[in-house]
Structure formats: structure tokens, C-alpha cells
Amino acid sequence: MTILETERLTRAYGGVIAVNNVDFQVEGGLITGLIGPNGAGKTTLFNNMTGLDTPSSGKVRFMGKDITGYPAHKICRLGIARTFQNIRLFKDLTVAENVMIGRHFKTGKDETKGRFLNALKSYIHLKEEENAIYDKALQWLDFFDMHSYRSELARNLPYGKQRELEIARALATDPQLLFLDEPAAGMNPQETEHLIRIIRKIRELGITVVLIEHDMRLVMNICDSITVLNYGEKLAEGTPTEIKNNPLVIEAYLGRDE
Amino acid sequence: MGIAEFFQHLTNGLTLGGIYALIALGYTMVYGILKFINFAHGDVLMVGSYAGLFIYNALRGDASLGPWVLIAFFLAMLASMVISALLGVTIERVAYKPLRKATRLAPLLSAIGVSFILSNSAAWAFGTNSKKFHYPFDNTPFVFKGVVITPHQILILSVSLVMMVILKIFVDRTRMGKAMRATSLDQQTAMLMGINVDRVISLTFSIGSALAAVGGILIALDFKVYATMGTMTGLKAFVAAVFGGIGNITGAMVGGILLGILETFGVAIFGIPSGLKDTIAFGVLIIILLVKPAGLLGKDEKEKV
């Protein structure tokens, strides 16, 4: 079943067309890779699907519902989470607090509606709710073998752990669909191995994963399906084997052999 | 200086500082979230004071003292908080929100424009004469062991203390307060955590503006209400916010109170002529910018390349 799809999605910045008429499908329960040379429009496509940017034209549908132009917080509440290419943690909060923030705005219905009584209620119940959120956050940290880091400030974590913490925080929003923007960037081989195991475990939880990645070993290793972008357009899609042998893809990456 | 004299100046300084702190909170909260100085904040204070004055006068009628006058005063203060909050939110929607993606200078200039529009409109609508804001109580001072304290000062100290405690609890302990803190740390990421950032910004403006209205009314009891009353007060509260560390809520409270104390003691101890009292605040601003640009409680941020 297709969980998310874009229909002729285009994003132009003035005369520069970053994403051009892209039809992109994500199958539920699978790991989909989004690859392509630098500047191919991968992150722009991510931004347009997660509400950080609005398409110039075209549609985004999530579980059959048109979510084009929805603000990011609404998309988050519908069940889509993401991480960033450059790590964007709350660096001065502890590891546990980072994960808790992901959890916080998910528990009630629409807490930020700012109703006075709601605020009052949340004050009274905050302690027990806070404890429940803390326990849940620790569970996610266990999932990443990061329990022992829980009281460290996020900025003091080793690089690879910071990347994983960002994933843990995204998972805490309880998504059905998780976007990872270059999760292995800057990781050493051991950290990448650990990350691969984690992404597989995330799929086992029933969460659909879409990832942008330049590490081809990782992509070919864990993706069930791959879409290739080049100059803002969809170049190819298929299984890792199909993509590996596709002459168009090889040309885009290596250039034409004259 | 004797002990009584010391405590006298301390009382006066704390009172002045309490008001600065209330107003500084509006600057610092908005800066914390939008990284921009709302130069129209002082004029929101002025509009709030006018609103408070008119409602107060309408409610109390001919009565000048008595329990009803006191009730009318607090009702007027509440109403003026609501009016200022609405004004603050409206200004943000109309003059700042459309510029959120523009250069950082654009909303700043827009704010200065709003400031002039508000103060000129007030002068046009209400005249340029200052209007007296009658005390809702008998302001005969108490003398306590040689220290003179007026009921007005007690009002200022208690109201500003209560407001600051409520604000602190709200920001630290409620979920909405958490949303505010997360938004000030990283707006985009906060959005992706399910926080409605537009609502957080509106809330920030309404809280800041409501506190400014309270500050304005408290000042007006001593210094009357007039169209440009927000200018100097606003600037000094801004200095207080920078002094304490702009963007930091506790910093604004500490900065405001310290600035009030510095001004009072500056005149009393160092013999700075009281006509030059205002220069103390701006002298402090220059020194703090030279010595600790991030302010007393601010963190020195190193730009990462």
C-alpha cells in the first residue's frame, strides 16, 4: 500500500527549478532510498513533504489525504517525522529532555491551543504526565543503546550518537513515516554498522522509512526500493539491483563515456 | 550613608526596577523567539495606559476613594492587559509576520514605524496634554524605622512580584511554556515536534504586551499618561533586557531590578545630578556591551562556521 505519494510536485525558486514534476511513491512498511548527485533536489523534496517548504505546484498525499501546504506542526501530528542533514538537536538540553520534547506535544489532543483551562490542567497533571513521558523517552534511549547517556547534554555526545539521538527524538513523536536526511553522514564504519541495525529495527516496528543517503553500501544494503533524482527530475526507480544496473543512473553518477 | 538611608534607596530602587523588569520581559521574550527587538513595545505600554485610564475613570465615576475605586482600578488594569495583548498580537500579524522571511533589518524598521504611528495617533486622538491617573487609595506614606514607603510603592512591588512569579511558573512548568522554550531554541525543529509556532509567537506577544500595560499603569500613577510616555521607559527597559541578557527571562527580571537600583544609588551615592539620571542606564548599556555583550545571564554564543 502506498502510504505517501507526491503528484507532479514542483518547487521553483525564481528561475531555478529545484524539483520538477516529481511523482514519488513510498510503500508502507518498507525502507525507501532517495539518491542522486548533489543538488538533485532530494532535500527540497523532503522539505516539501514535511511542511518546511510549500510546493510551487503539485500535490502531496499521506494515507490518501491531501496534505499539500500543511504547516509542519500539523504534518508532525499526522504521523510524519524527520531528521536533518546537519544535526539540529536542542544542544543545551539533556539527551532525555531532547527525546521528551518529541513526546510532549503528541500526548494531549491539541495542547498548544493555549486555552487557559488547558494550561491550568496541564500544570496540575504535569508531574505524572512528565513521569510517563520520561519513562517513554528512556524506552527509546534503550532502543538505541543510549540509556547511559540520558543525563548528558546533547552537545557532549559523540557525533554518531548525536545523529542517533535526533532519530530517537523523531521517533518519540510516534510517527508512521520517518524521513532521514543523510543519517550516516560523517559516521565511521562502526557507527554506520550500528545505524544499519537501528534502521532495520525501526522497520520491524512497522514504521516506514525514507532516507536520503550518499553511502551506497548502506543504501544498497538496506533499501527495499530506491528512487533516483537528477537535476530535480525523477531519473529511475526500482529495487537496488535494478538501480545498480540502470545505465541512466550510472551515467548520472559517473558521466558519459565518450 | 546610614542604614535607614540605605534601605530607603533600596526600596526606591526596587520599585523602579520592578517596573523596568515587567517591561523588559516583553522585549526579551519576543527577542528569545523571533531574534528581533520590538521597538513598538513602549508604545503598546502607552496605549495600555490610556486604555487603563479611560476604563478606570469610567468605572469609578465621581468616587475618588473607597473599596469600589480600588476594585475599579484592578478591573481597569485587567481590561487594559487584554486590550494591550490584542494590540500586540495584531501588530505582530500585520507588521512583523509578513516580514518573517525578509532580512533582519526589515521587521526592525517596521517596528520603529509602528512605534511612531501609535504615538502620533495617540497625540492626535487624546491630545498632547498629559492626563492624571488618580491613586485608587490614599497615598500617604508609611514610615517604618526611618524608611519612607508609599502605598503606591507597595502596590508596584507586590504586583510586579506576583506577575513575575506567575510568568516564571507558566514558562517553566506548563506545556505551553515548554513549547515557548523549544521554539526559542530552534523554531523549525519545534515545528517538527508538533508545536504550532505561530500560536507560540502570538502568545509571546500577548504576554509581553499585557505586562507592559501593567508597567505603564503603575508608572502613570506617578508620572501621568501622555502620548510619548512609552519612549524613554521603553528604551530603558530595553537596556535592562540587554543588561540581564536579552532572550533570557530571568535575565530581564534581574536586569530590570539591578538597573532600577543602579539608577537610584547612582544619584544618591555618586552624586550624579538627578537631571542626568537617564544617562546611567545608557552608560550601563555601553559598559555591558563592551565587557559582557551577552548580558549578565546570557550565554556567549560562538558562531559556528
Q: Mean pLDDT per segment of 10 residues, for chain B of length 305 residues?
A: 85 92 92 89 94 92 83 93 95 91 89 94 90 87 87 92 90 82 86 87 93 94 90 91 89 92 85 80 87 79 48
Average pLDDT score over residue span A222-247: 88
Q: Which pLDDT score is estimated for A200?
A: 92
* Residue type (1 letter), B208: G
Count of residues making up chain B:
305
Are B26 and B111 spatial neighbours (Cβ–Cβ below 8 Å)?
A: no
- What span, in angstroms and rounded, lies between the C-alpha atoms of A7 and A59? 5
What does the block give as the cell for A238? 526500482
Residue of B nearest to A74 (CA): B194
Q: How far is B188 from chain A (nearest CA, A)?
A: 8
Instruction: With CA atoms as reference, report the closest residue to A8 among A26, A24, A21.
Output: A21
User: Which pLDDT band, with edges at 50, 70 and 90, does A131 fall under?
Assistant: confident
Burial of B3 (0-12, 13-18, 19+ CB in 10 A): exposed
The mean pLDDT of chain A is: 84
- DSSP E strand stretches across chain A: 2-13, 16-27, 31-35, 57-62, 65-66, 80-82, 177-181, 208-212, 225-230, 233-238
Burial of A1 (0-12, 13-18, 19+ CB in 10 A): exposed
Vertex A92, ends A87 and A95: CA angle to 5°?
Answer: 70
Would you call B191 and A173 a contact, using CB atoms and an 8 Å cutoff? no
Instruction: With CA atoms as reference, report the closest residue to A252 among A32, A87, A38.
Output: A38
Q: Which pLDDT score is estimated for B303?
A: 46
Instruction: Sketch out chain B's domains with CATH numbers.
Output: 3-291 (1.10.3470)
Instruction: With CA atoms as reference, report the closest residue to A32 among A195, A209, A175.
Output: A209
- What span, in angstroms and rounded, lies between the C-alpha atoms of B40 and B191? 27
Would you call A73 and B194 a contact, using CB atoms and an 8 Å cutoff? yes
Residue of B nearest to A104 (CA): B175
Q: Which pLDDT score is estimated for A106?
A: 63
Residue A158, number of CB atoms within 10 A of its CB: 11
Q: Which pLDDT score is estimated for B62?
A: 80
* Residue type (1 letter), B16: L
Domain boundaries, chain A: 1-79+175-258, 92-168
Would you call B194 and A113 a contact, using CB atoms and an 8 Å cutoff? no
Tracing cell 487557559 back to the chain, one arrives at: A116
- What span, in angstroms and rounded, lies between the C-alpha atoms of B113 and B108? 9
Q: How far is A241 from chain B (nearest CA, A)?
A: 34
* Nearest CB to A112 within list B170, B192, B200: B200
Contact status of A93 with chain B (Cβ, < 8 Å):
yes
* Nearest CB to B176 within list A73, A77, A114: A114
Look at residue A133 and tell me whether its pLDDT is greater than 60: yes
The better pLDDT of the pair B245, A118 is held by B245
Tracing cell 526596577 back to the chain, one arrives at: B17
Which pTM value belongs to this model?
0.82
A114 neighbourhood in chain B, CB within 8 Å: 176, 199, 203
Instruction: With CA atoms as reference, report the closest residue to B204 among B175, B174, B236, B171.
Output: B171
Would you call B195 and A169 a contact, using CB atoms and an 8 Å cutoff? no
B188 neighbourhood in chain A, CB within 8 Å: 52, 72, 88
**In chain A, what percentage of residues exceed pLDDT 70?**
89
Residues of B at the A interface, defined by Cβ within 8 angstroms: 169-170, 173-176, 178-179, 182, 185-186, 188-189, 191-200, 203
For CA atoms A78, A39, A189, A31, the dihedral sign is positive
3-state secondary structure of B139: coil
How many pairs of residues across A and B have Cβ atoms under 8 Å apart? Answer: 82
Contact status of A106 with chain B (Cβ, < 8 Å):
yes
Instruction: With CA atoms as reference, report the closest residue to A52 among A70, A40, A64.
Output: A70
Q: Which pLDDT score is estimated for A111?
A: 44
Are A44 and A235 spatial neighbours (Cβ–Cβ below 8 Å)?
A: no
3-state secondary structure of A111: helix
Average pLDDT score over residue span A147-164: 86
Q: Which pLDDT score is estimated for B260?
A: 92
> β-pairing, A225-230 with A233-238?
antiparallel
Q: Which pLDDT score is estimated for B304?
A: 44
What does the block give as the cell for B162? 506576583
SS (H, E, C) B275-296: HHHHHHHHHHHHHHHHHCCCCC
Contact status of A13 with chain B (Cβ, < 8 Å):
no
Burial of B170 (0-12, 13-18, 19+ CB in 10 A): middle
A112 neighbourhood in chain B, CB within 8 Å: 175-176, 179, 195-196, 199-200
Q: Which pLDDT score is estimated for A69?
A: 87
Q: Which pLDDT score is estimated for A126?
A: 63
Are A60 and A49 spatial neighbours (Cβ–Cβ below 8 Å)?
A: yes
Would you call B188 and A72 a contact, using CB atoms and an 8 Å cutoff? yes
Q: What is the four-CA torsion angle of A144, A146, A152, A156, rounded to 10 degrees?
A: -70
Strands across the sheet with A57-62, in order?
A16-27, A2-13, A57-62, A65-66
Instruction: With CA atoms as reference, report the closest residue to A83 among A10, A13, A184.
Output: A184
Residue of B nearest to A84 (CA): B189
* Nearest CB to A173 within list B193, B199, B200: B193
Would you call B200 and A88 a contact, using CB atoms and an 8 Å cutoff? no
Q: Which pLDDT score is estimated for B196?
A: 87
- What span, in angstroms and rounded, lies between the C-alpha atoms of B284 and B266? 11
Q: Which of residues 162-201 of A touch B (CB under 8 A)?
A: 169-170, 173
For CA atoms B100, B106, B111, B113, the dihedral sign is negative
Would you call A111 and B193 a contact, using CB atoms and an 8 Å cutoff? no
Would you call B192 and A72 a contact, using CB atoms and an 8 Å cutoff? yes
3-state secondary structure of A112: helix
- What span, in angstroms and rounded, lies between the C-alpha atoms of A119 and B199? 14
Q: Which pLDDT score is estimated for A110?
A: 46
Q: What CATH homologous superfamily does A1-79+175-258 map to? A: P-loop containing nucleotide triphosphate hydrolases (3.40.50.300)
- What span, in angstroms and rounded, lies between the C-alpha atoms of A26 and A224? 10
